[in-house]
Each structure stands twice: as structure tokens, then as C-alpha cells.
Amino acid sequence: MTAPDTRILLTGATGQVGHELRPRLATLGKLIPATRRVLDLAELDVIAATLDAIAPNVIVNAAGFTAVDNAERDHELCHRVNGEATRLIAEWAAKHGALMVHFSSDYVFDGNHRKAYTETDATGPLNVYGASKLAGEQAIAASGVAHLIFRTSWVYGAHGSNFARTMLRLAHQRTELGVVNDQCGTPTWAGRVADATAEVLAQIITPDTSATKALGDRGGVYHMTAKGSTSWYHFAEQVIAHDPKKSEQTLQALSPITTAEYPTPASRPKYSVLSSAKLHATWGVTMPKWETDLHNVMPSLEPTTR
């Protein structure tokens, strides 16, 4: 049911998750989709004034600095966007009684587990990006704002730059390709993240009461990923095998390699599988197996251009 008096601000409206959220959130209230032109999280001194002008009841923060390797080279900008800007949004929302929804990452963990991480497990990011996302989480909690933090992982989709689309491009450009096989996580379709987010918000945003009141004591951190786990290599294997244009591929050999054979500026956790059991228990949201969504989405995936 739509709550027409609810003003929903969506930051990062042209990003992977933001793009998928737009049509779904539009059914819940008055949606204000904000691109970087409207709200640039790198410009800290204009955030409060912009929020004053928009006056949202609900803020869905899907914006962020997501270039994990670039974060190692530009850690100041990464922390400004993912940490400081998030803090300012949370403080504004707390002051004005708005609900804040925020997306975080599996990279807040160190990867030393061998079973799916729960929301109560200790964090320990290995890279600048993960540290900045954790700083954002902590700032939200410290602000006292009514909030939901959704940690997700290995996000891909038909929009924007992501691993699946990059693999499609490389499969049509190269004859041989090596992909890391000793990092384990869960590929999660951006549309599934948007569906699950909207399913939760539909239980909160109603014409009868404020979103913050409807949230009650159910706020906090939730893991939001598909079920199951895989490596980057097996993820790539599935993407390439289900390419609608497989007959046009130039790729002849896909090989598993180790992290040591493919060094990157940012260290990655070897294991970052998340358990979404709390999400299901609290909100009734069921996440499908990662393979199910991937196979359904493959016909709409196009290779990245570069």
C-alpha cells in the first residue's frame, strides 16, 4: 500500500542497486531519486542543506565509494563518502525523525571464518573500502537514528560495472582467462537486493503510522545476500557457460588461479559468506540460491564496454 505522505529520498539512484530500487520504492511513497548532481556525498558541507530542502521521511542511502582497489589509492575520498557523509546523513535523519536505510558490505569481515557470518560476529576489515563501510555503520549506530543496515556481497546486475558483465566482455575478447579460485562469497543480484529492501520497507511505510514508529525495535544490521557460496572462478564459469551469445565467444580456456597469482592493491577476505537467517526470521524475506537468480538474469546481461 502506498503512503503518499511519505517522502523517500534515494541516494545513488543511478548505481547498480539504486537503479533497481527506483521502480520498487516508487510504489511505497513519493520517491525523490537523487543522483550525484542532486546530492554529492563527497561535498560534505552541502549535505545538510540539501536534506533540509528535500525534507525526506525515509532516506535510502544506496550511494557510496565502491571501487575497492581505488580506495587504497584514495583513502581520504573513500572515508569521506562512505564514513563521514554517512554520519552526516544519519545525524540529520536522527534530528528530523526520519528512517535511514543503508547498504554495507561483506568486506567489513576479515575472512577467517569457515561458516557463514552472522550479524553478531566480530568485524575486522582487511582493506580501506571495508574500513570505510564499517565506519559508516558505526556512525549510524552512534547517531541514534532509526535505521536498517543491509550488508550484501558480490553484487552484479544488468546495470553498471560489475564482475559478471566484465567476465562476459573478457570472454569475447580473450582466448585464455585466469580467475581467482581461493576467495569464497555469494554473488547477489542487485534486483534481489532491491526486492528484499522493498519487501521490508512495505512492512514499515504505511499510511497509518510513521516509518520510525513502525520500525519499533526491529532496527539494526541485517545480512542480505543470496543463499549458497562459490568462488570467483566458479562464478565466472557459470556466467560464461550461460552467456546468451556463447557461440560468439573467443575464450578457449578458463583457468582457476590463486590470490597470490593475481595481486591487487586491496586485500580481499578469503571467505565472506553471510547468513541471511535474521532477515528471514524478522521480516519473512526469503533469499533464493545465487545460481537461480544468475540463470534468470543472464539473458539481460550485456558485457561492459571496457
- Provide the CATH number for the domain around residue 210: 3.40.50.720
Nearest to 58 by CA among 197, 187, 251, 175: 197
Q: What's the grid cell of residue 275? A: 547468513
Tell me: the pLDDT tens digits for 220-266?
999 999 999 999 999 999 999 999 999 899 999 999 999 999 999 99
Tell me which residue range forms the domain holding 81: 7-161+186-225+273-288
- If one counts the domains in the chain, the total is 1
Count CA atoms closer than 13 A to 128's CA, side-chain side: 20
**Category of 220 on φ-ψ map: left (φ > 0), alpha (ψ -120 to 50) or beta:** left
Beta-ladder partners of 180 = 257
Angle at 214 between CA 209 and CA 217, to 5 degrees: 155
Tell me: the pLDDT tens digits for 45-91?
999 999 999 999 999 999 999 999 999 999 999 999 999 999 999 99
For residue 180, being part of any structural domain is answered with no
For residue 87, being part of any structural domain is answered with yes
Per-residue model confidence (pLDDT) at position 2: 62
Active site residues per annotation: 129
For residue 143, being part of any structural domain is answered with yes
Per-residue model confidence (pLDDT) at position 214: 86
For residue 213, being part of any structural domain is answered with yes
Least confident of 4-13, 144-153, 202-211, 281-290: 202-211
pTM of the model: 0.94
For residue 267, being part of any structural domain is answered with no
Share of the chain above pLDDT 70, in %: 99
CA 252, CA 170: separation in Å to the nearest integer?
11
Beta-ladder partners of 177 = 254
Q: What's the grid cell of residue 273? A: 559468506
The contacts of residue 195 (CB under 8 Å, 6+ apart) are 24
For residue 104, being part of any structural domain is answered with yes
For residue 302, being part of any structural domain is answered with no
Q: Residue 211 — very low, low, confident or very high, per pLDDT cuts 50/70/90?
A: confident
Reduced 3-state DSSP string for the chain: CCCCCCEEEEECCCCHHHHHHHHHHCCCCEEEEECCCCCCCCCHHHHHHHHHHHCCCEEEECCCCCCHHHHHHCHHHHHHHHHHHHHHHHHHHHHHCCEEEEEEEHHHCCCCCCCCECCCCCCCCCCHHHHHHHHHHHHHHHHCCCEEEEEECCEECCCCCCHHHHHHHHHCCCCEEEEECCCEECCEEHHHHHHHHHHHHHCCCCCCCCHHHHHCCCCEEEECCCECCEEHHHHHHHHHHCCCCHHHCCCCEEEEECHHHCCCCCCCCCECCECCHHHHHHHCCCCCEHHHHHHHHHHHCCCCCC
For residue 63, being part of any structural domain is answered with yes
